[in-house]
């Protein structure tokens, strides 16, 4: 399925070149190389996107609704299988990341707050702390 291709800003074009040239040196925290997602219905949600995030850099991935942001993130968190392309996080190929060891060095805040309506805020925090295996201390009371 054909999707409207927006005109690209110069900084976007420039960044793609930085991402391409830094792929080999690999000194980035997050790298995506020609990442692509074509859904079963033929929608090319992500079309060979390349980007990189350096240490200490705050990187914004912007785009209108339907641009493919969620598809990108879902591939990078391995919630969604990628059609082609490569991702490296903390200098490791995505498929080689150790969820326990490397996972302790990263975090993700999802688009919607994962708060359960039937629990209080302190119950949520204490529950997540237990799931994450944090040492048991006096439970937080707000
Ligand atoms: N599971 C799916 N199957 C088919 N098309 C999808 C699916 N999820 C998203 N899309 C389509 O992929 C495109 C990108 O969507 P998405 O990644 O959610 O963009 P964004 O997060 O930037 O709004 C949209 O055209 C959307 O309709
Ligand atoms: Mg989205």
Average pLDDT of the chain is 87
Higher pLDDT, 42 or 108: 42
pLDDT tops 70 at residue 1 = no
Q: How far does the centroid of ligand 2 lie from the alpha carbon of residue 9, in Å?
A: 21
DSSP H or E run through 88: strand 84-89
How many of the other CB atoms lie within 10 Å of CB of 84? 12
d(CA 93, CA 89): 7
d(CA 106, CA 104): 6
pTM as predicted: 0.80
> pLDDT above 70 covers what percent of the chain?
92
Task: Give the position, in ligand 1's atom list, of the atom nearest the Cα of 74.
Answer: 17
The pLDDT tens digits for 74-85 are 999 888 999 999
Q: How far does the centroid of ligand 2 lie from the alpha carbon of residue 95, in Å?
A: 23
Q: Average pLDDT, stretch 46-57? A: 94
CATH assignment of 10-110, given 3.40.50.300, 3.30.110.30, 3.30.830.10, 3.90.226.10?
3.40.50.300
For the chain, the domains span 10-110, 112-142
CB-ligand 1 contact for 71 (6 Å cutoff): yes
The pLDDT tens digits for 86-106 are 999 999 999 999 888 888 888
């Amino acid at each position: 399925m054909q999707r409207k291709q927006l005109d690209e800003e110069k900084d976007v074009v420039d960044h793609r070149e930085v991402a391409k040239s830094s792929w080999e040196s690999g000194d980035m925290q997050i790298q995506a190389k020609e990442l692509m997602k074509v859904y079963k219905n033929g929608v090319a949600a992500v079309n060979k996107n390349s980007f990189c995030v350096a240490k200490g850099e705050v990187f914004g991935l912007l785009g209108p609704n339907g641009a493919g942001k969620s598809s990108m993130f879902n591939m990078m968190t391995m919630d969604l299988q990628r059609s082609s392309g490569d991702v490296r996080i903390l200098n490791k190929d995505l498929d080689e990341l150790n969820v326990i060891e490397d996972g302790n060095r990263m975090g993700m805040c999802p688009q919607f707050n994962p708060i359960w309506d039937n629990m209080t805020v302190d119950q949520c925090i204490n529950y997540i702390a237990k799931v994450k295996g944090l040492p048991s201390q006096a439970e937080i009371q707000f």
